[in-house]
Amino acid sequence: MTSAENHGAAGRYPTGSRAFPHRDLLAIGQLERHEILFLLDEAEQWVEMNRRAAKHVDLLAGLTVINAFFENSTRTLLSFEIAGKRLGADVVNMHAAQSSVKKGETLIDTAITLNAMRPDAIVIRHGSSGATALIADEVDCPVLNAGDGQHEHPTQALLDALALRHALRERGHAAEDFTGLTVTICGDVLHSRVARSNVLCLQAMGASVRVCSPPALMPSHVEAMGAAAYTDFDEALAGADVAMMLRLQTERMSGQFVPSPREYHHLYGLTAARLAKAAPDAIVMHPGPMNRGVEIDSDVADMLDRSIITRQVEMGVAIRMACLDVLTRRRRGVEGWGEKA
């Protein structure tokens, strides 16, 4: 019995590799709705295993995963490392600050170098939009985008969807997708790869998405993506089922986009009073890292009955285990996934 059938998902997506025919995971924008559902369902078994005392399998034994991070990370790097190790892979982390990138080696040459070491998967975070696709073109193994510039952060959107699905189930929401749900994403949308991936993922899952930011931080493509654009946070939050907060990404800003963190908090910070404008049991999310007192108040971030921020982190490991498992199935010769590579 496949894990999909285990979770009652039979019939919701094609069998074998047709459930996820891609070599790489570069963007939510590449994925069909059933492919997103498939990855979420695959992750459920790892949520269960990760809650047990013994959390190790030998599924990826003998395989090598390289985590190549050209930007700082806590959650994504650690959860990919933990995910690979819990699946039995040999995991190696390459931190750009200690690599030959600092000696002037190009991204392409770095990719060719990593490829020559015959990894079975490469996970990449890079500050330039499109860098992961560039590397994917140069290597022979699956590439997983761990965040590229302002473009996409697909595993973040997937783990957010998984965390939201779990929280909704606990609230008696029986549906497997997000039909009928209104999600408000508020913050520095212009610089946010998380916002883009989440707009695409949440909409694919059936949610209505409102995007809110100061005018200077609202990208022109939001409405073309199907989301509703707001500059007034109170309006954007009215009746919403989920408030997903984003930090100001000052490291990506050239110039000043908001007058001050204090003024930003006044207009766009999620306070308990503001949360009262949302649906009565609205769920609070944040991909992290948080700037408490700027985009979100501590009393909201730490609300045990509303905030699922730490659960998002928990689901990050399970989703990354699912992605590493699914993307290496062809190399491992898993039945129905093609000839061993």
Annotation: binding site: 75-76, 103, 125, 153, 156, 193, 247, 288-289
Residue 9 beta carbon to ligand CP: minimum distance, rounded to whole angstroms: 27
Residue 156 CB, shortest distance to ligand CP, in Å, is 5
Tell me how far apart the alpha carbons of residues 152 and 27 are, in angstroms, rounded to a whole number. 6
Report the nearest approach of ligand CP to the CB of residue 62 (Å). 27
Which residues within the stretch 71-110 sit at the binding site for ligand CP (CB under 6 A)? 73-76
The residues in 272-291 that bind ligand CP, with binding defined as CB under 6 A, are 287-289
* Dist. CA 26–CA 318, nearest whole Å: 18
Write down the least CB distance from residue 296 to ligand CP, Å. Answer: 14
Q: Is 50 or 73 the residue whose CB approaches ligand CP more closely?
A: 73
Instruction: Assess 250 for contact with ligand CP (CB under 6 A).
Output: no
Residue 174: alpha-carbon gap to chain centroid: 23
Mark the binding-site residues for carbamoyl phosphate, compressed into ranges. 75-76, 125, 153, 156, 288-289
* 6 touches ligand CP (CB under 6 A): no
Instruction: Kindly report the number of other CB atoms within 10 A of residue 51's CB atom.
Output: 10
Comparing CA positions, the residue from 76, 251, 87 lying closest to residue 158 is: 76
Region near ligand CP per CB under 6 A, out of 70-78, 255-263, 267-275, 318-326: 70-78
* Residue 229 or 284 with smaller CB distance to ligand CP: 284
Contact flags string 132-171 toward ligand CP, x per CB under 6 A:
---------------x--------x---------------
Tracing tokens 């989703």 back to the chain, one arrives at 319
| Burial class, 262, CB count within 10 angstroms (exposed 0-12 / middle 13-18 / buried 19+) | exposed
Alpha helix (H) ranges present in the chain? 3-6, 33-50, 75-86, 107-116, 131-138, 154-170, 193-204, 233-237, 261-268, 272-275, 298-301, 309-327, 329-332
Tell me if the bond preceding 142 is cis, omega within 30° of 0.
Answer: no
Contact positions vs ligand CP (CB under 6 A)? 73-76, 147, 156, 287-289
